[in-house]
Homo-oligomer: A and B are copies of this chain.
Amino acid sequence: MSNLAPRKAVRAMAPYSPPTDGRAGKLRLDFNENTVGSSPRVIEYLKQQLSCEGLSIYPEYAETKPAVAAFFGVGTDDFILTNGTDEAIQVLVNTYVDDEQEVIVLHPAYAMYRFYAEVAAAQVREISYRQADLGFPMEELLDALTPVTRAVLLANPNNPTGTGIGVAEIEQILKKAPGAAVLIDEAYYEFSGVTALPLLPRYPNLFVSRTFSKVYGMAALRIGCLFSQAQNVAYLHKAQSPYSVNMLAAIAVRAAIQDPDFVSSYVAEALAARDLLYSGFARLGIETFPSQANFILFRIGARSIEIRDKLREKGVLVRDRSYEIPGCIRVTAGTRAQAERFLKELENLL
């Protein structure tokens, strides 16, 4: 018999649900990835850089960090590289939030905000999106921000709602919570064009995360950035493992940021596909929510899980969200051809 008991915080957490496997080759409209893959230049560069010696050396970021800094227009001391956005969230929470302290998250939102707050045994306070239109609950959030708030974790635009706020709203939040670390997760920035990055010099409580997992098509590699003022970044560094970002990711990023045309043309295509999806949903009489990202949340009703499963049988993957938004499914906007294929399969099922 073991006396070994996990922490109460861990026992209380929802059980781990493994990601779907075997997604390659299917029409992947379920994770908001780049549906055509990474830039071919990234693959080319990785193949060229791969070597037995290189693989055996602990990661070195001296070449990557200045390139990334220049790309984002910040200094090398103004951000950390992170093992995906997940590590950005974890390091931020570990740097600023003690046991039992308050972390504010929105609902529904990316599950990892709550996850890392719970691992840290924080007091998680959830503010719900407006039920009718999934609009941002600005007043409620501002009311919730008090001197005991230690962190606010939100995505802009938000996932899975697709809705976003403007820079003015972000400033309101920052001003109301000067003692809290405010994370604006901009995983879908390239599709919305709204960013809080230029606010960094003015708000010492602002943290902005970006990722190479979405539009850049590099989710497999796990790399992102967490930006803040240098004095904050020095503390983030202290709470981060020195080698958490693998070297192939650090190499790949150098190639990825040198191919801006790949990103801009994919964004244009995905936005066109999104328009196509909206038209299709309207034609089919399906309720949708306004999205600023590369996905659309639509309300299909009681058959949501059945429809997800039947689409999967046709090789089309979408994400059921009915457990948090009744009757809703999320679909990624990829290419126009992919949108048409999805709409055709959906229409056949209805």
Asked if B18 contacts A37 (CB within 8 A), the reply is: no
Contact B47 A239 (CB under 8 A): no
- Does A86 lie within 8 Å of B6, measured CB to CB? no
Tell whether A4 pairs with B179 under 8 Å between CB atoms, given A84-B243, A94-B119, A222-B244. yes
Residues 2-57 of A contacting B (Cβ, < 8 Å): 2-11, 13-16, 18-25, 28, 31, 33-40, 42-43, 46-47, 50-57
A244 cross-chain contacts in B, Cβ below 8 A: 83-84, 86-87, 222
Asked whether, in the complex, the Cβ of B2 is within 8 Å of the Cβ of A205, the reply is yes
Give the distance in Å from the alpha carbon of A42 to the alpha carbon of B99 in the complex: 43
A221 vs B119: C-alpha distance when bound (angstroms):
25
Contact string against B for A residues 261-275, beta-carbon threshold 8 Å, 1 for contact and 0 otherwise = 000000000000000
**If A46-B50, A238-B15, A246-B248 touch, does A56 touch B38 (CB 8 Å cutoff)?**
yes
The one of B3, B18, B57 in contact with A242, judged by C-beta atoms closer than 8 angstroms, is B18
At the interface, yes or no: A327 with Cβ under 8 Å from chain B? no
Question: Once the chains bind, are A204 and B4 in contact (CB under 8 Å)?
Answer: yes
- Choose one: B96, B220, B242; the contact of A246 (CB below 8 Å): B220
Q: How far is the CA of A238 from the CA of B232 in the complex (A)?
A: 29
Q: Decide if A97 is an interface residue (CB 8 Å cutoff).
A: yes
Task: Convert A82-101 into 0s and 1s, putting 1 for each residue whose CB lies closer than 8 angstroms to a CB of B.
Answer: 01101100100011111100
Q: How far is the CB of A246 from chain B (nearest CB, A)?
A: 4
Chain B residues near A115: list those with CB within 8 A: 241
Chain B CB within 8 A of A162 CB: no
A95 touches B204 (CB 8 A): no
- Among B10, B42, B60, B205, point to the contact of A238 (Cβ < 8 A): B10
A218 to B15, CA, bound (A): 31
Task: Indicate if A323 sits at the interface (CB-CB under 8 A).
Answer: no
Say yes or no for A297: interface residue by CB 8 A criterion: no
Q: Contact flags (1/0) for A54-94 with B, using CB distance below 8 Å? A: 11111111100000000000000000000110110010001
User: Which of B24, B62, B95, B242 interacts with A6 by CB under 8 Å?
Assistant: B95
Taking the closest CB of chain B, its distance from the CB of A4, in whole angstroms, is: 5
Number of this chain's copies in the complex: 2
Specify which of B10, B95, B179, B245 is in contact with A235 (CB 8 Å cutoff): B10
**Residues of chain B lying within 8 A (CB to CB) of residue A325:** none
Interface residue A247 (Cβ < 8 Å from any Cβ of B) = yes
Residues in B neighbouring A38, C-beta threshold 8 A: 52, 55-56
Contacts of A6 in B (CB 8 A): 95-96, 232, 235, 238-239
Chain A interface residues toward B at CB < 8 A: 1-11, 13-16, 18-25, 28, 31, 33-40, 42-43, 46-47, 50-62, 83-84, 86-87, 90, 94-99, 112, 115, 119, 121, 178-181, 204-205, 213, 217-222, 232, 234-235, 237-249, 252
Some 21 contacts from A to B, beta carbons below 8 A apart, are A4-B179, A4-B205, A7-B94, A14-B238, A15-B238, A16-B234, A16-B237, A19-B242, A23-B60, A24-B57, A33-B57, A36-B52, A39-B52, A40-B52, A55-B219, A59-B219, A59-B220, A83-B244, A86-B244, A90-B241, A246-B246
